[in-house]
Amino acid sequence: MASSEQPPATAGSGGPDGGSLAGGGETFGDRSLSQGLSVLVGLGLCVTMLGLGCAVELGQLGQQLRRPVGLLLALLGQFVAMPLLAFLLALIFALDEVAAVAVLLCGCCPGGNLSNLMSVLVDGDMNLSIIMTASSTLLALFLMPLCLWIYSRYWINTAVVQLLPLGAVSLTLGSTLLPIGLGVLIRYRHPRAADLLVKISLWSLLVTLVVLFILTGTMLGPDLLAQIPASVYAIAVLMPLAGYAVGYGLATVFKMPPHCRRTVSLETGCQNVQLCTAILKLTFSPELIGSMYMFPLLYALFQSAEAGLFVLAYKMYGRDSYKQDTLGEEEDTDISYKKLKEEEVADTSYGTVTTEEHNSIQMEPTQTAL
């Protein structure tokens, strides 16, 4: 077990093996922009969850519940594979308690809306994508605090873990249910308005992340950003990449078609960084979390870049095979239809119909040699 005798205000002050320099949180907390940043984080999360609710159709939800493959994959990917992956990376890179909690928090988050957008670009299964995002968000209400409690045991004797606000995490998660439910209601009663809100939420996701990155960088200062350990940057690069690979492997184990494998891959690697940012900002004191508030933003940056490379590779090399597979399915249908017609024609060989006069029809049986 890792241990720390430091007081909470300096628990994150660390060295080259993963220190987060939380002492800089004093500057971060004292800036006048801090309160406005909290408001921006909360509004961004509400808009994102509203857009997610607007993308859910009750009919599709009922179909998925009758055959809950998407629900099972969301459970395995988001609350088994990703938390374990975050925990192992924190151990491998020997992160201190503050950095480890930030990484664990991101790994325990549900899927994000970015995966829905990327699934469209790789010709994925949109119904599966939306159901996985929505179901992982609902499951997070119970499983995210549980995963945090389980995996933070390694750092249990440290101040940041002893002060880990699991109740506040659950409260933040519960607050997301209201905009999700409102979005589902809008989709049910006003489908066109729901489509518009989905587009708005996707654009707001991009704008919010850019604004958060700029404001947080300004508030923390270039010196603190430069002092974030290289190990934290390495995890921000490796974690989404490994998530994409694990998701594709899970879909392969379930023998899903290629377009569903691409969907599950993106759903597993894309985390809800808005939720992670909101929890870090709204439930931890700046003196504790310090510059590690930047980790979900770094994760968002690299998960977007890697997903973009995924999309680019698909557009260059995979789209032709996708079209050929679709065309092949249509050709198989035509061949089957032709065979069926030939069999129907062959059945008439047992007798030949000849017409000698307008009112006379004669059946001539075919002779079969014995």
Each residue of 188-225: pLDDT tens digit?
888 888 888 888 887 777 777 777 777 666 666 666 66
Give me 221's structure tokens: 């200062």
Of 13-27, 135-149, 228-242, the one with minimum mean pLDDT is: 13-27
* Domain assignment present for 284: yes
Of 109-118, 149-158, 356-365, the one with minimum mean pLDDT is: 356-365
Give me 5's structure tokens: 């005798």
Give me 133's structure tokens: 């995002």
* Domain assignment present for 285: yes
* Domain assignment present for 108: yes
Q: Which domain holds residue 272?
A: 41-318
* Domain assignment present for 12: no
The pLDDT of residue 61 is 66
Confidence of residue 29 (pLDDT cuts 50, 70, 90): very low
CATH number at residue 84: 1.20.1530.20
Total count of domains within the chain? 1
Q: How far apart are CA 105 and CA 127, in angstroms?
A: 27
148 versus 318: the higher-pLDDT residue is: 148
- Mean pLDDT of all residues in 332-343: 42
* Domain assignment present for 83: yes
- Phi and psi for 351 in degrees, rounded to 5? -165, 150
- Mean pLDDT of all residues in 274-299: 78
Q: Is pLDDT at 334 greater than 50 in this prediction?
A: no
Q: How far apart are CA 360 and CA 45, in angstroms?
A: 82
């699934």: which residue's tokens? 119
Q: How far apart are CA 97 and CA 289, in angstroms?
A: 10
What pLDDT, in 10s, does the model give residues 251-286? 999 999 999 999 999 999 999 888 888 888 777 777
The reported pTM is 0.71
The pLDDT of residue 140 is 87
* Domain assignment present for 126: yes
Radius of gyration in angstroms for the set of CA atoms belonging to the chain, rounded to a whole number: 28
Which one-letter amino acid corresponds to residue 359?
N
Q: How far apart are CA 118 and CA 247, in angstroms?
A: 14
Q: What is the mean pLDDT of the chain?
A: 74
The pLDDT of residue 223 is 66
* Residue 47 · residue 200 · CB < 8 Å: yes
* Domain assignment present for 30: no
Q: How far apart are CA 89 and CA 234, in angstroms?
A: 10
* Domain assignment present for 356: no
